[in-house]
Structure formats: structure tokens, C-alpha cells
Structure 1
Amino acid sequence: MHTIKLPYHDRYPYSPITERKDYSWPEGKRLAVYLGLNIEHFAFGAGEGHLLTVANPPPDPRTFAWRDYGNRVGVWRCLELFDELNLPAAHLINTTVFDYAPQIVDALKARGDEFIGHGRTNAERHGGMWEADEKRFLQEIGDSIEKASGKRPRGWMAPWMASTRVTPDLLKETGYDFLMDWPNDDQPIWMKTRSGPLMSVPYPIEVNDSPQVLVRHHSGEEFRDMIIGQFEELLRQSAKQPLVCGIALHTMIVGQPYRLRALREALSHIVNHPQKDKVWFTRPSDIYDYCAALPEGTMVPPAA
């Protein structure tokens, strides 16, 4: 039989989730839940950025100010909520935030939260970079995060989930342990790079306030119901195998008071769930560490 051979990335083999080995998270827990809060800074009157409504001609102070609300107000309300519910978090943070709003860095360090590499600014995409430029770009971000937080970032999630064909290779070669740009699974998987395996930790494009609210125009209450529905179904499915429930958030979106109220209801549902003993509230780097230490052959190996 003649078949069409489609272009493929050769980073991982096809693997049905129903055919994989079972294992449990720490203490026998079955569902890993983490919060991924995007903390972003944008250029004024230039570059790309999230849009709540129709853009005005540059410099469009209305849109810049709406985005800036996330750094001035939204991030603080989100952190208060996480503290209230005693939840850890990981922060996908632009390095331009470090100089612009250093108080945010201090607050994240005080919580012991994780910094995930998230580019310099969401006003740019790096997908068109030449390989040497991209390597310097990734190194520069790692250096900036290490200087600001005291720790080298272990994870990467690009602005706009942008990528070149060699991004996974360069991430491995510049010291990152995992990426979060490939929303293809509910379990961590190994990916092949030219310098050895790199882990992909699930990060959602669905349970993510940016596409749901800004693109699909769902309400805060609808997004709340999505979080709860995702959690409940994954918890049910996790009886058969360990799964990851990531919740992707943006400061200027869920940081708006009426949406924060809905987020509080969703997270309170999870934290106070009668089966919360089966839930591991964690951060992506802890997921990586646990999976990397599993006996060889537990996880599907990367492409040969």
C-alpha cells in the first residue's frame, strides 16, 4: 500500500495514552495540578500584544494601559488569592518585568515560586530568529532570570508559544530541562533533541484565559466552569494513570476583579475537593524532577 509521508518533527513517537505504564505522583497522588501565571510587559505603541477589543492606531494608550493593569494591580490580586488558598505557582515571566516592576520579583521570591523562561517581552516573537541569534536570546533570558531570582530557569514557554525548528535543540544546549510549548498530552513526555532528551511538561492552550476570554470571548464564569470541568474529568481519568492539570492565567485577564472572583470559585472548588488527597499541588520543575527519576522505561522514550 502506498501512503503519503507527511512532514514530521521527529521529536517524539506516536503513543496512545491508553497504552502507557502506570505510576503515581508523590505519596500515591494521581493528579498533578499547577498554576502557570503569565507576567508580561509590553512596548508602548509598538510590537505585539494581547487585545481585549479593537486596537486603536498607535500609540493606543488604552490597550497599553489595559495590559499594564496586570502588573500594577492584577498580579498582586492573583498572588493574594494564591496565598489565601495556600497554592504554589509558577510564573511565565518576561525579563523586561525585572527592571520595570522589581517588586514583583521580590514577591515571587518570597513565595518560593518558580520562574519559567518566557522571553524578554510579549511585544515580540522569536520564531523568525537565525539559530545563532536564538541561542544568544535563550542564554540572555536564562542569565537575566538567574540574576533576578537567584536560580537558573529550568523551564521554557515562549511568548505566543513561538518556535523555530531548532528551539528544542537550543533549549537543551543552553541548560533548560523542559519546555511547555507543545500542548499535545496530559502527561509529561520525552522529546528528542540533537544533544539528548528534553522533557515536555503539559501546558494548556484550552484551559487558558487568553484564548478563551480574548479570542473566544468567554465570560469569567464560563472560564471558571472550564477549570472545574477540566479538573473533575482529569481527576476521574487519573484513576487509571497519573495526569497533569495545568491552569494557564494572565495577570491582566483574571486579575480583573470580576474574573478574579470567578477564578477564586474555581480554585476553591479544587482546594476543598472531597478527593483532594489524590491531588498533588505542585510546580512544573517538581513534575520534571519526579518524572526524570522514574525507573527507565516508565515513560515513553523520545524518538529514536
Structure 2
Amino acid sequence: MKLPSHGRYDFHPIIERPDYAWPDGKRLAVCIVTNLEVYAYLKGTGWDPAKLNEPQNQRNYSWRDYGNRVGIWRLFDLFDKFGIPAAHNVNSLLYDDHPQIFEKIRERGDEIVSHGRTNAERQGDLWEIDEQRLIADVTEKISANEGAPPRGWMGPAASESRVTPDLLKEAGYRYVMDWPADDQPFWLRTRSGPLLSVPYPAELNDSAAIIHRRQTAHDFAQMIVDQFDEMVELSAERPLVMTISLHAFVVGQPFRLKPLREALRHCVEHKLKDRVWWTRPGDIADFCYQLPPGLVPGEGPAPSTP
């Protein structure tokens, strides 16, 4: 019996991979990625803080809007406190009514990652031509506002169709964060050539931990500490990527900020901090694209000729 397969990558166990290092000999790349989202009022999909499977209503809409009105500004302050760069998974419709958020992102020099039009829709349900249009809408909106196209994509709810990587590659994207299969970047096959997968967590994710698994803010903070402690040690053997996923309407709540602050302080001040590259997913992708073939798992692009 043969199971249905995606055909996007082969099995490359991490223990058999060659070693390399991040810039300046660093061993652990750490990315903080926020999710900045907009939702349709009383329509579409979206999380609820109080009840499972609750229909869309004014309460869950306004709870999510808290992230844009309040939560993200507290996260910006937190990142500034520790001098941490960040990337932001951005719904492109956020540009219509939230200009101050983008002013702060530009001021900080953070990265904007495409995150669909709105988290009220899921691209995995679309026909190919409609998904192609969605990707084009998002790319054009970000490009028009930022003066350059985004490098990376993270689908709303990590939703993908059978052809999403193909469409992203054809739209000019360099990396995607929808495949939580590894602690290192790896190449995905598409019908138009390789596309890089940059690690993004299904578990080290405040929405998954706190909203879905009903864990506390202290549980989530301890997850960050334990993940960092383990990965900074393991990175002595091979380069690794640790990405932390934050939603401004979840961890931006005041009672969750203190444990998050202490977890980040632990990481920033760690005794092995010299091993750590605090960075953004786009910088990881750019670095991987210039590595010699064979270091990143999978079938990467052919080396450029001088």
C-alpha cells in the first residue's frame, strides 16, 4: 500500500546532513514573528476566546481587534526593550485602516511577510485561478505600500491547496512558512523550481498553545525557555532555526506580557548568547540561497554563474 503524498520533499534525516554556520559563525537563528490580522465582521472564520466553535459575533471580532489597537504596541515596546528584530505576518487588508502599525514596522526595519488578505478566509478551499488571484492581490498591495515585493508567505491558518507552493514560486516568492516539518530550512519542489521552507512552529505558537490547547501564559513562556535552552545546546552540532509565533490579540494581553518578557530576557541574556543570531525569516532565506548546493536539504537552485 502507498499513502497519498505531496511530492514536495524527500526524507533527509537531520543526523545525516552536512554542517554549516549562520553569519559570523552563529549556530542558532532565532526569529520572532507576529501575526497581524483583520477579520470580517460577523462573517468568515476566526478564533474565539471564550467558547469552542462559536459563531462570529461582536465579542470575538473585537477581541481579535484588540491586537491591532493595543497588543501589537506592547509587543513593539517589548522588542525595543531587548533590541530584537521581528517579522510580521500581515494580512494585506490591514493596510486599509491601520497605517500607524506599518509606520512602526518601517521605523524598526522589521520584515513584512505576506499572510493572505484576511484571516477570515482560507486559501486551501479555493480553485487554482482564485488562489492565484488572491496571491496576486496580496503581493500587489504590499508592493505598492512598501516599494518592494514581500519575500515570504505564511498562509492564514497555514492553509494551502495542492498547488500553493507552485503559485507562490510563480509569483516570485523566495520562501514559505507553512510546512512545520523541520528545525532547518529545506527546499520544496514546485513545478517552476525550488522554493525554500523556513521553519515556523505549529506548537511554539501562542494561539495554538493558549487558545487551542488551553495552556497558560506561564506554560507558553516556559515552552520558549525550554525550546531555547535545548536548541542552543543542540546547535553546537548543526545550525538550527527557532521561530516563535506571537498573535498580538493573544500574548499582547497585559497578564501574558510579564511571563513573555521574562522568557525573552532569559534568551537574550543566556550564557551561550554568542551562538545566537537574532534575525528575520527573510534574512535566513537570503543566506540559504547563497550557500553552496547540498548544504540545505533538498534540490535547491542551480549555482549562479559569475
Taking structure 2 as the reference length, the TM-score comes to 0.96
Residues 1-304 of structure 1: pairs in structure 2 closer than 5 A? 4-54=1-51, 60-302=57-299
The Cα shift of 1:149 comes to: 2.0
Total equivalences in the alignment: 300
The Cα shift of 1:151 comes to: 2.2
The answer (yes or no) to whether the contact 1:156–1:179 under 8 Å persists in 2 is: yes
Q: CA 1:279/1:59 → structure 2, altered by over 3 Å: closer, same or farther?
A: closer
Q: Distance in 2 between the 1:99 and 1:145 partners?
A: 11
Let me know the Cα RMSD of the aligned residues.
1.3
Q: Structure 1: state its 5+ residue gaps.
A: none
The secondary structure found in structure 1 opposite 2:286 is helix
Which residue identity is paired with 1:192? R
Q: Distance in 1 between the 2:5 and 2:46 partners?
A: 30
Which residue identity is paired with 1:17? I
The answer (yes or no) to whether the contact 1:11–1:302 under 8 Å persists in 2 is: no
Q: Distance in 2 between the 1:200 and 1:107 partners?
A: 27
CA displacement, residues 252-292 of structure 1 (integer Å, 9 cap, x when unaligned): 00100111111111111111111111000000011001111
The secondary structure found in structure 1 opposite 2:125 is coil
CA displacement, residues 46-90 of structure 1 (integer Å, 9 cap, x when unaligned): 111111112797662111111111000000000010011100000
Q: Distance in 1 between the 2:156 and 2:135 partners?
A: 12
The answer (yes or no) to whether the contact 1:209–1:248 under 8 Å persists in 2 is: yes
Which residue identity is paired with 1:46? K
The answer (yes or no) to whether the contact 1:37–1:250 under 8 Å persists in 2 is: yes
The answer (yes or no) to whether the contact 1:13–1:302 under 8 Å persists in 2 is: no
The Cα shift of 1:126 comes to: 1.1
The answer (yes or no) to whether the contact 1:116–1:154 under 8 Å persists in 2 is: yes
Percent of matched pairs sharing the same residue: 52
Q: Distance in 1 between the 2:147 and 2:73 partners?
A: 21
Q: Distance in 2 between the 1:163 and 1:222 partners?
A: 29
Taking structure 1 as the reference length, the TM-score comes to 0.96
Q: Distance in 2 between the 1:57 and 1:292 partners?
A: 44
Which residue identity is paired with 2:77? E
The answer (yes or no) to whether the contact 2:184–2:198 under 8 Å persists in 1 is: yes
The answer (yes or no) to whether the contact 1:105–1:149 under 8 Å persists in 2 is: no
The answer (yes or no) to whether the contact 1:125–1:162 under 8 Å persists in 2 is: yes
The secondary structure found in structure 1 opposite 2:124 is coil
Which residue identity is paired with 1:186? D
The secondary structure found in structure 2 opposite 1:181 is coil
Aligned to 2:303: none
Which residue identity is paired with 1:221? H
The answer (yes or no) to whether the contact 2:175–2:285 under 8 Å persists in 1 is: yes
The answer (yes or no) to whether the contact 2:45–2:56 under 8 Å persists in 1 is: no
The secondary structure found in structure 2 opposite 1:199 is strand
